Structure formats: structure tokens, C-alpha cells
Amino acid sequence: VQINSANVVYDNSWLWRADHDAAGLVHKRHNPVETAIEVNGDNVIAYGLAVEHTLGDQAVWNGENGRVYFFQNELPYDVDTEFAEGNFVGYRVADTVTKHYAAGLGVYSFFRDFTVMTETAFVTPKDQDGVILKNPMAVFLN
């Protein structure tokens, strides 16, 4: 999903890249989806946003003055160390954003097929007091 308009309210969505299909488990980056949601518009509010298993950054926020209330994410099961080397995360706020607020964020991982160690689950601009993540949580389930 890509939101390019301003002043959008986005409510109760679950964006999911299939980690299994009719034949069974998905392996080695099959069913390719890079990003679940990319927000480019300003003043976008999301309530109840869940994204799972995409192969790049799960959620990317480029718009100014975005707000998110509840974010749930599971990183993909079937990636290898290239996922960590690419610095992909569950929730990314672009370096150009100066104002963003998100509350109640959770990112968890279970790397089923390979040993993968990510550096972080969340990325925000450095030295931006107007970018606030309230109560973020990351859990490594392996």
C-alpha cells in the first residue's frame, strides 16, 4: 500500500506477505513483496496498523506530521543474513521527517530458516525532537 495523499485516516488494516501457500511453507524469498506500507503524504493518521513478512522495510513513513496508534509487525521467517545486512526494519521514519508520533509499537521476529541477527527494529531520524515513538517494543523469539 502506498499513500501519497495528505490528510488521510487509515484504520484497522493487516498487510501480510504470505509465509505459506497451498503447497506449504514459503522459502527463500518466494512471494516477493518489499514493503507493506509506504506513507508519502503529510498528516496521515493510522489506527490499528499490522504488517507482516515483507522482504524489505515493513513500514516506511516519509510524510510529515504522521501519527500511528498501535503498530504490530512480524519480520519475515524465510530471509537469510542479507536481510540484516540490508538494515531492514519493522518501522522506519525517513531522515527528512521532522514531526512524527507513534504509540504502542511492537516488532517481533522468528527467523525460521537461517540465523539472522538484526541491529534494530525501529529507525528514526537522529536529533529530531519532533519524532516520538512512545512505548516501542521488540521481541526476538528464536
- Give the Cα separation of 2 and 52 in Å (integer): 16
Q: Which of 34, 74, 82, 85 is catalytic?
A: 74
**Other CB atoms closer than 10 Å to residue 27's CB: what's the count?**
11
**Other CB atoms closer than 10 Å to residue 31's CB: what's the count?**
15
Which cell numbers hold the place of 84? 540484516
* Beta carbons of 91 and 120 less than 8 angstroms apart: no
- Give the Cα separation of 42 and 125 in Å (integer): 17
- Give the Cα separation of 21 and 47 in Å (integer): 29
74 is catalytic: yes
DSSP single-letter state for residue 130: T
Among all residues, which ones are annotated catalytic?
Answer: 74
